Structure 1
Amino acid sequence: MELLIKLLLLVLTALKTTQGSDSCNEVKHGHGHPYLHEASSFSQAEEEGFDYIIVGGGTSGCPLAATLSRNYSVLVLERGGSPYGNPNISHMQNFHIGLSDTSPSAPSQPFISTDGVINTRARVLGGGTCINAGFYTRASQRYVKTVGWDAKLVNESYPWVEQRIVHWPEVAPWQAALRDGLLEAGVAPFNGYTYNHLYGTKIGGIIFDKDGFRHTAADLLAAGNNDNLKVLLHATVERIIFERRGRRRRPTAVGVEFKDNSGKRHRALLNGGRQSEVILSAGAIGSPQLLQLSGVGPRKELKKLGIPVVIDNLHVGKGMADNPLNSIFMPTKKPVRQSLIQTVGITHPGVFIEASSGFSQSPNSIKCHHGIMSAEIGQLSTIPPGQRSLEAVQKYKREIKKNLPKEAFQGGFILEKISGPLSHGGLRLVNGDVHTPPVVTFNYFSHPEDLQRCVYGVRSIERVVQTKRFADLTVNDAYTMEALLNMSVQANVNLIPKHTNDTASVEQFCRDTVTTIWHYHGGCHIGKVVDGEYRVIGAARLRVVDGSTFNKSPGTNPQATVMMMGRYMGVKILRKRLGRAAGV
């Protein structure tokens, strides 16, 4: 009888954890996480006494918290929930499901920039590492030098992340084809398997293991000290609490106000120690948004919304950019195995060539796989940006997808992305409510050099797909160009432009098919909003440690460097307080 009861409990647990999986596979359970708590459990007796309060348990916040907790008390406030037990986060084949979920409790939160490009913010412990395509590659040595980081500490901080959550991929057929096609097209040399940023073609790391199970920044919290670490889930920070101290009455961060999932307000306060700090790691949208909601930003804009001005800074929320992405779909003769990103071609003009693929081995698998460029995740790239909408995404899922021929899902994408776009925008608040998304603009291709580089990238893709390696895989004369173009419009995939020798045509293609690869950054730039140690200019005991401080997105994909940055700044802060005795 006891054995039967145990078996029944195991079955019930399995059923519970697979709810909402959209028919795609089982859950791999996480281990216990004693530092995780619901925000509603936070009591008034706990509100005082933290050495560090970190707002945002994302890509940078998790490694930062784990590092600081080795020696000091740390409270992490995360507006989302736990990634553990959610198969749409954990399993690679469910990538598009987790990213397209628009429910209030989803790990991703869609938004549309004023440019008309559908984008996503992470809303889960682990941040973007829970919903991204998983590619892991470091920033270049030049980038590290330009930012002013200590190269020795950088080279110690990357491996700290890598040994915990990064894996080498088993190269999928579509990724192998891209590797060979890039080399045949002249994107050389082949640099093999490497995390380093090197010109030519390489295979990078991934945060999926050999079973396709995702490992995220949330896993890095396990490296912390459980006695010093407390993570509150569904804790939405509304504002930073400032006091004016000292002879100059300098605004000093002393804590934050936040709401739990039931709407109850709480305060969390620093312990009063001279080196205690509030650290924003809420991301490129969340950090500048929260600074402005707390009264740090452009005086004129804040006063218009009735927000008391604490620090007048015109630069908060300004200078934001997103790396524009354009892609081409290539139908294949046979189904190709699903892959996200494993191979990259790094060119001297600052254009990166990557790839993803889905497969359709059966009618049921079509429902589960459509690759990184799925229309389900808002990549409505055959519709000009001004005509895209979340409603169109839902219509695609409800009405269009089920009527498409299997060829629309049988193939792969080749992507070109511009690094360091010169086109910039920013964000502005709509009102003083943290739950109201800010208005975001990226101004894609407003700078002519970005458009020139897109043309270069599209023509580079053309060279790759014309290689013998791709000729062996892809459909040639099985369909007419007219049929392929009709299918591309219906399936929301790109088989255009028809004439890449016409620069004007390619430029229009770039404008009409631009999408995001979720690498937006800026809004709290060094020297304008924060200083070289990431302390907010004009304030005390307040820092920003995340991608909002970047002038340019690092590497081909930023997650490696954002996680490294969390570890790096944690070690720097500890060493400043403890010297080398910090033991990190």
Structure 2
Amino acid sequence: MPYRFWTMILSAIVVVVSLFLLDFATAELPPNYSFMHEATKAPRVSFYDYIIIGGGTAGIPLAATLSANYSVLLLERGKAPYDDANITIVSNFGRYFFDTTPDSPSQQFIVENVVNSRPKVLGGGTAINAGFHSRGEEHFNEEAKLTDYDLIQESYEWAEKVIVFEPVVQAWQTALANGLVEAGVAPYNGYTLDHLTGTKVGGTLFDENGTRHSAADLLQYANPEGLSLYLHATVHKILFRLKVKSKPRAYGVVFQDALGKKHVAYLKGGKSDEIILAAGAIGSPQLLMLSGIGPKDQLDALNIRVVLDQPYVGKDMADNAQNVLFVPAPFKVEQSILQVVGITSFGSYIEAGSGFNFIFANLSEYEGYHYERGGFIIEKINGPVSKGELKIVNLDPADNPSLTFNYFNETEDLDKCVRGLQTILDAVNTEAFSDYKLSNMTNQDILDLNMKLPYNLIQHGNISITLEQHCRDTVRSMWHYHGGCHIGQVVDDDYKVIGVDALRVIDGSTILNSPGPNPAASVLMLGRYMGVTILNQRLADAVKPYADW
């Protein structure tokens, strides 16, 4: 048999063995990654098999997996999470949402008078979220076009065995769980990572010492010889070759370091080499447009050369609306972050935290109610049905684009919120939760108190008249942004950008509906799943000429 055939067979063995070994990696743990550097250290020109834009929830599993057998460049616009106590220590959760310094891991923006934040840190949303880990619904796999159910399971477990822990559930969270069951969010399903209707305890990214483990920790799986990771690397555009009789082909990226110097990274030129956008639901459609793929009218307005007139880029953006009720207790309660979830049958998720201020960084006391004496109970609608749009406003990728989410624009979303808030009130009034509620406090008292808290910038009265009005007046972001690069519109079933070659988008921007109480588990799985799928596709393409031997 020809030498080339045996070379391909040996390559296949290397891929399989590498993946097996990386599953049980014992490489040096973070933050001492040998492949991680500031972008100021990057060469001015470099070449790779894969270039991944975005070191977040999807980008890290992709990079770690693909590095098993190929050279991978991973570009992250933020810093590493390990030296920031506000990120790593559970009791500091939420403080970074009010950090407006240039190197904040959270970048603020305002949509419809609701203050939002997007991650700007290695680890993405897993480095700044509440750490709750719960797998998505079964229909998410269908929407995401994931058909290998063994690989789905293996991909979940691949991430979970490194960064997910069973929380220690104390009295306040236990009382809430029992109250939810008593209020009808049944059955009680105990501790499980699976999506099950009823009340359960989910996983957490915080270990028994209260230390966060984000997606960045999954880089211990990476092949150090195959991965180059640069921090504070802001990608300005993707480069395309334009030919008259063929589709545009991505071949490189331009990125800028913290000192303002430009660097160019190219694909090596192999038939299967690719650039993968994993910059999140806001960053990916924004960067596609800045690179010339998007609605022609927006591109022309900013004098961007049109690579592909793609009207669906930026369309159908969504954020899951969140509404919160602070429920005062008669005594100081223990600190707890999101651990218990009520997964209702009508499309609302109910979660909570107690004993510390994870909603407002500077709210120590309001009208005599101290946040340490009580807890915040959160209602999030699934879906949602309400959609908005992303538009670029300038050529600076570091700036926030213009966004609308149209919170509660659809009656279905508002109805879910109303039922969710009513379920919270029902749970608060159960026998199971009675020790943690002021005995003389009525539902109206709770609602009126929360109308006075600074949940958003919406101007409204101080009295809650109806639950519908309460939902609209106190709406907050759940930070679960998705859309803008939907499957079937912007990308195909393999996440390849329709109409161009050598470019994929793999992240929350492709998601139709945010999966589960928190999408992070599903996006982590998606990154690993597609990384393995790409390796297998590349291997199949390599041996295809010899398929009949």
Q: Please give the residue correspondences for 1:362-381 in structure 2 after superposition, counting only pairs within 5 Å.
A: 369-371=356-358, 373-374=359-360, 376=361
Q: TM-score, normalised by structure 2?
A: 0.89
2:365–2:371 CA contact under 8 A, matched in 1: no
Q: Is 1:217 the counterpart of 2:215 in the alignment?
A: yes
Q: Is 1:457 the counterpart of 2:457 in the alignment?
A: no
Q: In 2, Cα distance between the equivalents of 1:200 and 1:144?
A: 21
1:404–1:490 CA contact under 8 A, matched in 2: no
Q: Please give the residue correspondences for 1:230-249 in structure 2 after superposition, counting only pairs within 5 Å.
A: 230-245=228-243, 248-249=245-246
- Paired residue secondary structure (2:241): strand
Please state how far the C-alpha of 1:404 moved relative to its aligned partner. 6.2
Instruction: Tell me: CA distance 1:441–1:293, structure 2 relative to 1, closer, same or farther (3 Å).
Output: same
Please state how far the C-alpha of 1:493 moved relative to its aligned partner. 7.0
Q: Is 1:573 the counterpart of 2:523 in the alignment?
A: no
Please state how far the C-alpha of 1:177 moved relative to its aligned partner. 1.4
Q: In 1, Cα distance between the equivalents of 2:417 and 2:446?
A: 23
2:325–2:450 CA contact under 8 A, matched in 1: no
Please state how far the C-alpha of 1:417 moved relative to its aligned partner. 0.8
Please state how far the C-alpha of 1:58 moved relative to its aligned partner. 0.5
| Corresponding residue of 2:340 | 343
Q: Is 1:311 the counterpart of 2:308 in the alignment?
A: yes
Q: In 2, Cα distance between the equivalents of 1:105 and 1:197?
A: 36
2:201–2:340 CA contact under 8 A, matched in 1: yes
Please state how far the C-alpha of 1:403 moved relative to its aligned partner. 7.7
| Corresponding residue of 2:154 | 156
Instruction: Tell me: CA distance 1:577–1:307, structure 2 relative to 1, closer, same or farther (3 Å).
Output: same
Please state how far the C-alpha of 1:436 moved relative to its aligned partner. 2.4
| Corresponding residue of 2:226 | 228
Deviations 1:393-412 (A, max 9, x none): xxxx4xx7478646344210
| Corresponding residue of 1:547 | 508
- Paired residue secondary structure (1:75): strand
| Corresponding residue of 2:60 | 62
Please state how far the C-alpha of 1:516 moved relative to its aligned partner. 1.0
Q: 1:558 aligns with which of 519, 525, 548?
A: 519
Q: Is 1:49 the counterpart of 2:12 in the alignment?
A: no
Instruction: Tell me: CA distance 1:194–1:580, structure 2 relative to 1, closer, same or farther (3 Å).
Output: farther
Please state how far the C-alpha of 1:230 moved relative to its aligned partner. 0.5
Q: Is 1:291 the counterpart of 2:254 in the alignment?
A: no
Q: In 1, Cα distance between the equivalents of 2:410 and 2:202?
A: 30
Please state how far the C-alpha of 1:460 moved relative to its aligned partner. 1.0
Instruction: Tell me: CA distance 1:483–1:314, structure 2 relative to 1, closer, same or farther (3 Å).
Output: closer
Q: In 2, Cα distance between the equivalents of 1:312 and 1:53?
A: 24
Instruction: Tell me: CA distance 1:176–1:243, structure 2 relative to 1, closer, same or farther (3 Å).
Output: same
| Corresponding residue of 1:417 | 380
Amino acid at match of 2:502: R
Please state how far the C-alpha of 1:483 moved relative to its aligned partner. 8.0
- Unaligned 5+ runs, structure 2: 1-28, 544-549
| Corresponding residue of 2:497 | 536
Q: Please give the residue correspondences for 1:256-271 in structure 2 after superposition, counting only pairs within 5 Å.
A: 256-271=253-268
- Unaligned 5+ runs, structure 1: 1-28, 359-368, 377-396
Q: 2:408 aligns with which of 441, 445, 450?
A: 445
Deviations 1:85-112 (A, max 9, x none): 2111110011122332111111111110
| Corresponding residue of 2:12 | none
| Corresponding residue of 2:22 | none
Percent sequence identity over aligned pairs? 50
- Paired residue secondary structure (1:469): coil
| Corresponding residue of 2:191 | 193
Q: In 1, Cα distance between the equivalents of 2:497 and 2:170?
A: 44
Amino acid at match of 2:376: F
Amino acid at match of 1:252: R
Please state how far the C-alpha of 1:414 moved relative to its aligned partner. 1.3
Comparing 462-471 with 233-242, which one deviates more in the overlay?
Answer: 462-471
Which of structure 1's runs of 4+ aligned residues deviate more than 6 A?
Answer: 479-486, 496-499
Q: TM-score, normalised by structure 1?
A: 0.84
Amino acid at match of 2:145: G
Please state how far the C-alpha of 1:456 moved relative to its aligned partner. 1.0
Instruction: Tell me: CA distance 1:488–1:352, structure 2 relative to 1, closer, same or farther (3 Å).
Output: closer
Instruction: Tell me: CA distance 1:572–1:497, structure 2 relative to 1, closer, same or farther (3 Å).
Output: farther
Q: CA RMSD in A?
A: 2.3
Q: 1:99 aligns with which of 92, 97, 100?
A: 97
Please state how far the C-alpha of 1:490 moved relative to its aligned partner. 5.8
Q: In 1, Cα distance between the equivalents of 2:240 and 2:309?
A: 14
| Corresponding residue of 1:87 | 85
1:326–1:515 CA contact under 8 A, matched in 2: yes
Please state how far the C-alpha of 1:48 moved relative to its aligned partner. 3.2
- Paired residue secondary structure (1:48): strand
Q: In 2, Cα distance between the equivalents of 1:51 and 1:520?
A: 30
Deviations 1:425-480 (A, max 9, x none): 01101112212210110000111111111111111111111101221221122x68
| Corresponding residue of 1:383 | none
| Corresponding residue of 2:390 | 427
Deviations 1:255-297 (A, max 9, x none): 1001100001110110011100010000000000000000100
Please state how far the C-alpha of 1:138 moved relative to its aligned partner. 0.5
Comparing 405-414 with 155-164, which one deviates more in the overlay?
Answer: 405-414
| Corresponding residue of 1:472 | 435
Comparing 468-477 with 402-411, which one deviates more in the overlay?
Answer: 402-411
Instruction: Tell me: CA distance 1:253–1:572, structure 2 relative to 1, closer, same or farther (3 Å).
Output: same
Instruction: Tell me: CA distance 1:483–1:575, structure 2 relative to 1, closer, same or farther (3 Å).
Output: closer
Deviations 1:506-555 (A, max 9, x none): 11111000001111100000010000000001110000010000010011
- Paired residue secondary structure (1:49): strand
Instruction: Tell me: CA distance 1:303–1:464, structure 2 relative to 1, closer, same or farther (3 Å).
Output: same
Paired positions, count? 510
- Paired residue secondary structure (1:186): coil
